[in-house]
Structure 1
Amino acid sequence: MKKLVNAPRAVVREMLEGFVALAPGQALLEGETVVVRSDTPRDAGARKVAVLSGGGSGHEPAHAGYVGAGMLDAAVAGDVFTSPSTDAVLAAIRAVAGPAGALLVVKNYTGDRLNFGLAAELARAEGIPVETVVVADDVALHDTVEPARRRGIAGTVLVHKIAGAAAASGASLAEVAREATAAAAELGTMGVALGPCTVPAAGRPGFTLGEDELELGLGIHGEQGVRRVPMQPADALVDTLLTTILEDRRISSGERVALLVNGLGGTPPMELAIVARRALAVLREAGVRVERAWSGTFLSALEMPGCSLSLLKVDDARLKRLDSATTAPAWPGAGLVAPQRAPRQVTQVQEAPVDAGARQPGMDAFHKAALAVAVAFDVSEARLTALDSAAGDGDLGISLARGAAAIRELPESSWTSPTRALNAIGNALRRAIGGSSGPFYATALLRAARHLVDRKADATAWAEAFGIAVDAISELGGARPGDRTMLDALRPAADAFAREVKAGRSAAEAWAACVREGEQGAEATARMQPRLGRASYLGERALGVQDAGAAAVVIWLKALTPFIK
């Protein structure tokens, strides 16, 4: 287990100290793992209705992240995935509640219900009015337990917001409790996990998953889901989650909802955005009006990869609560949804039509050679990805596969002359390939195309064009042979081809020498200290791994071999 902690027993206190140190509106209750609003009036009689929540730690930013004006007045933290003690909850109530009373928002787990429930009884005995709302929003359990026994998961955050806004408006305890209870009753959540999480004190994952498996309908405590299913695309998973929520909560066309796309701790914003995109599309297709939507990590399960979706039915009054201002540091903001619209069109410069003319001799073979390179890039995608991942960013394989697709999509009019074909390929690659490969190959091909204008495309002209193309790459990127880049394969290959052609060798013989020199140059990169590119950040750790860009050069050199005659 690798975690950035000092000692498992100190995790919760040190975490809360870090949270509070970064949040001027919060304070840590002395001797307790309780975060309170720093502006809580010392005079209990001056306090409004207080809203409190909490539970086991490991769900960050919940619950401390939602302490602030307009949301929670206090958050009580237990050990990781363990309910806080009754005394801790009672201390929190005493710290923030007064005669106006307190509302406890409790997730539906036995430990939480017992400890928050007993603390409420003790507070009432002291004269503090206390009401409790239990959130049981996990619709994954619809075939397993009765609704009152379902778990409380990420949708609880929306109840925090509604209850906090109601209290901030000056509503009575009964009114705040009524709004929170009504919201909890019209809330549905379901999650999916791509892997487990590791509790610091346990030191090992809570369960294991195969590479092609995931857990559907899990809770938030590292436990397994309702069922294990094969890995699926994001869209299919979103469809499953939303279908279950819509059916269970009886949400139909014309109804209004708020959507929460929640990461479980190990899911990057990239993937959550893909999930949000599909969720919005599915709801729109179903005729459901998404009034507000948020995407991010709101209630996690440590570092678990996965997500949950929550839907809350809304009306104007509930939207007003969701839109009310809050200083809680983890609340994501307005949640406004952009209107559905088509992507904006980029203004295209209209080029004058050019007569492509008839195909010049040899261009049928040229076209076939280019398609052979495309096939070679597709076949080599996994190998190039592995090489680039070892000493780069891992995108070369997929980038050149995109380039291969772009080559195949070029119209027949692109293949009438060497100049026209090289220009077409260069422009296609610059559009299709991101990163550095696109600009490098596009610049090289466009420079070579200019050299071949009005020249007889014999071996000498091609050798010159090859050398000029390599020079262009060097100029653009600043690399030289020995820097451990694609130039270490390109430069010796181009020089060998030119040298052999000048010596009177046939084009095929010269190309064979070109390929040999390119291979040797690529192999030599494994022994070179990188001086440019992302590999340079690794220093000696890149040694022993061939440069992916140089390896790609050898791939297309070999793919062209059958066509050099």
Structure 2
Amino acid sequence: MVVQSKHFLNTPPSLVLDSLQGLCAINTHLALDPTHRVVYLADQDRSKVALLCGGGSGHEPSHSGFVGQGALTAAVCGNVFASPSAGQVRRAIDLIDNEKGTVIIVKYDRQYRYVRVAHRLHRNYTGDVLNFGLAKEQYAARYPEKADRVKFLIVGDDVAVGRTQGNIVGRRGLAGVCLVYKIAGALAQRGASVHEVYNIAQYVSSRLGTIGVALDHCHVPGTAVPDTHLGTNEVEIGLGIHNESGHSRISPVPPLNELIPTLLNMITSTTDKERSFVPFKNDGTDRVALLVNNLGGLSELELGGVVAEVRRALDKSGIKIMRLLSGSFMTSLNMPGFSITMLLLPAPNETGTPSDDLILSLLDDSTNTPGWKWSSRSAPKPPSAPSLPTATHGKAWSAALKANDVDQFNSAVERACRALISAEPEITRMDNIAGDGDCGLTLKGGATAVLEALRNNSVSGDDVLGSVITISRLAEDAMGGTSGALYSIFFSALAQALAKSSSETATQEVWCAALEAALARLYTYTRARPPSRTLVDPLTAFVAALPSGLEAAVKAAADAAEGTKDMEAKAGRSAYVDSTQLKAERVADPGAWGVKVVVEALVR
């Protein structure tokens, strides 16, 4: 898989500071110490406990994006994937000095190298822990009277690293730390003591489990493009947010309904002695706050699908989701992947712990941190099936219209569909140059739906009119977009024209008249006229030549589609593309090529 290795920046060394300046420009309640790269609250309430965090950059919105009322008071930012220095941290502690104390929260960073043949060789990366800890100790030495008012917490929530492998160094910190920021910050905002804030942060940290998965590693600006990335059909489970290799790789990439249960089991299992870190009961009484985190390069469309599948899997396992958060919280630059975090809430009968109502209310408290995503302040509602109105009408036509040769009609439809499906890669290649890249998949979706309708007799030569109406509906539902609308309009108009025929058989004369009427109706919805470099070109040529015979019509349509290679676009997707590039590469219009594929299949 090819990783995205190009970036918009001035220079790689200036990127972090430029980004922080942009963050503070957008969020005027934040201030920046550019020398030490510390983002902090400009108007801090010094009668309340302060929260400090930080680490290497490249995980945005963490950490700087969580500075605000009800979360962090300040964040210290190192270079990409590199810890800030102790001097930077000391400056941050001074900036947020207050009357009640400070809680420093640091995620545990750990990297290891994966030797796939034999065993894992690992090396520790504890820069954040050492530098933040050093700054804390230096502060305590300088102000001994304040030593007990500065608390230090290390968060590790990764379940990919087993107990044996991580025996001394501990678990890595991943997206779960963001929940610690929010809950501890909200309690501090309510006026709690430094001990109360620290204790709840520590409790939440002990109840977190996170697992990540990605299709590839990320690219660090200013570095060479590595050649050790995943294959085109490979996924990695348990990789770290600094490009560390993961727990395992799987090929081919499984569907979500197979992948998600595997990931969740790594968090919730109590029989796996290596990674049973969180005390789930798995008896139907467990309740969690769920965070589905975008690692930086996943589309919102895919992330929504991940959320839905995680929710289905947890519902099936009996784990109740009390809060659901989703979005970019802890990224790894442009890594195409996601992580799942679960915070196990205390059981109603647990003693000596914060109540679940308190934890949930702290999650729900309002905050002005730019990185905190909107979430519903309630548990997700149970999924319900949509109620559909009962159909009260029958067929919209009275007489059946039969094909001249039913078997020939059915086989022609099947050939056309299979030809479109086979042509998808080539049409997609054309559309990547001449349009937005989706034409091949759109046509394939429509063809696949028609094939299924052919199998269940919803499309058949025994009922030509009903088949055309079905194809019109499938074009709308399965294709969508502009192409789907155009095809649906055309086939709807074709059905109207066929319904007016007094013949019981769909002869060539019936088809010629109906197609001519359908094309005229299509013209009322598009300005495209031949030559236009659109699907209208071969469609018009086909209809015009059909009275001379099917083979003549197919040749005319094919010639018209070929002609779009050297044509100036007047309408459609190609009108927005540089015509010199299209002519130089002699790329046909993808929609026109799709019509060519269909009609050529009719005569094979």
Match of 2:556 among 509, 517, 522: 517
**Which position in structure 1 is the counterpart of 2:587?**
545
| SS of residue in 1 equivalent to 2:172 | coil
Alpha-carbon offset, residue 376 of structure 1: 2.2
Q: Distance in 1 between matches of 2:333 and 2:75?
A: 18
Higher helix share: 1
**Which position in structure 1 is the counterpart of 2:80?**
80
**Which position in structure 2 is the counterpart of 1:507?**
none
Q: Answer yes or no: is 1:320 the counterpart of 2:361.
A: yes
Q: Distance in 2 between matches of 1:227 and 1:364?
A: 51
**Which position in structure 1 is the counterpart of 2:25?**
21
User: Structure 1: where are the runs of 5+ without partners?
Assistant: 501-509
**Which position in structure 1 is the counterpart of 2:150?**
130
Residue 136 of structure 1 contacts residue 148 of structure 1 at CA under 8 Å; is this kept in 2? no
Residue 104 of structure 1 contacts residue 133 of structure 1 at CA under 8 Å; is this kept in 2? yes
Q: Distance in 2 between matches of 1:160 and 1:136?
A: 13
Q: Distance in 1 between matches of 2:551 and 2:400?
A: 33
Residue 363 of structure 1 contacts residue 418 of structure 1 at CA under 8 Å; is this kept in 2? no
In structure 2, the CA distance between the partners of 1:108 and 1:278, relative to structure 1 (3 Å rule), is same
In structure 2, the CA distance between the partners of 1:266 and 1:471, relative to structure 1 (3 Å rule), is same
Q: Distance in 2 between matches of 1:260 and 1:529?
A: 50
**Which position in structure 2 is the counterpart of 1:238?**
260
Alpha-carbon offset, residue 87 of structure 1: 0.9
Residues 82-118 of structure 1, C-alpha deviation per residue, up to 9 Å, x if partnerless? 0011011111111112231110001113100110001
In structure 2, the CA distance between the partners of 1:202 and 1:432, relative to structure 1 (3 Å rule), is closer
One-letter code aligned to 2:298: T
Q: Answer yes or no: is 1:39 the counterpart of 2:79.
A: no
One-letter code aligned to 1:308: S
RMSD over equivalenced CA pairs, Å: 2.1
One-letter code aligned to 1:172: S
| SS of residue in 2 equivalent to 1:140 | coil
Q: Distance in 2 between matches of 1:206 and 1:33?
A: 32
Alpha-carbon offset, residue 366 of structure 1: 2.5
**Which position in structure 2 is the counterpart of 1:344?**
386
**Which position in structure 1 is the counterpart of 2:306?**
275
Q: Distance in 2 between matches of 1:466 and 1:198?
A: 54
Q: Answer yes or no: is 1:557 the counterpart of 2:599.
A: yes
Residue 47 of structure 1 contacts residue 98 of structure 1 at CA under 8 Å; is this kept in 2? yes
Q: Answer yes or no: is 1:477 the counterpart of 2:526.
A: yes
Q: Answer yes or no: is 1:463 the counterpart of 2:509.
A: no
**Which position in structure 1 is the counterpart of 2:14?**
10
One-letter code aligned to 1:429: A
**Which position in structure 2 is the counterpart of 1:504?**
none
Q: Distance in 2 between matches of 1:260 and 1:145?
A: 24
One-letter code aligned to 2:515: F
| SS of residue in 2 equivalent to 1:300 | coil
Residues 469-491 of structure 1, C-alpha deviation per residue, up to 9 Å, x if partnerless? 23333322221112210012112
| SS of residue in 2 equivalent to 1:378 | helix
Q: Distance in 2 between matches of 1:430 and 1:61?
A: 40
- 1:350-499 aligned at under 5 Å gives the runs 350-353=392-395, 359=402, 361-408=404-451, 409=453, 412=457, 415-452=461-498, 453-456=500-503, 457-498=506-547
Alignment length (residue pairs):
548
In structure 2, the CA distance between the partners of 1:419 and 1:192, relative to structure 1 (3 Å rule), is closer
Q: Distance in 2 between matches of 1:113 and 1:463?
A: 78
**Which position in structure 1 is the counterpart of 2:167?**
146
**Which position in structure 1 is the counterpart of 2:135?**
119
Q: Distance in 2 between matches of 1:352 and 1:30?
A: 72
In structure 2, the CA distance between the partners of 1:490 and 1:360, relative to structure 1 (3 Å rule), is closer
| SS of residue in 2 equivalent to 1:294 | strand
- Percent identical among aligned pairs is 36
Q: Answer yes or no: is 1:221 the counterpart of 2:242.
A: yes
Q: Distance in 2 between matches of 1:148 and 1:450?
A: 73
| SS of residue in 2 equivalent to 1:5 | coil
**Which position in structure 2 is the counterpart of 1:503?**
none
TM-score relative to the length of structure 2: 0.86
Residue 197 of structure 1 contacts residue 206 of structure 1 at CA under 8 Å; is this kept in 2? no
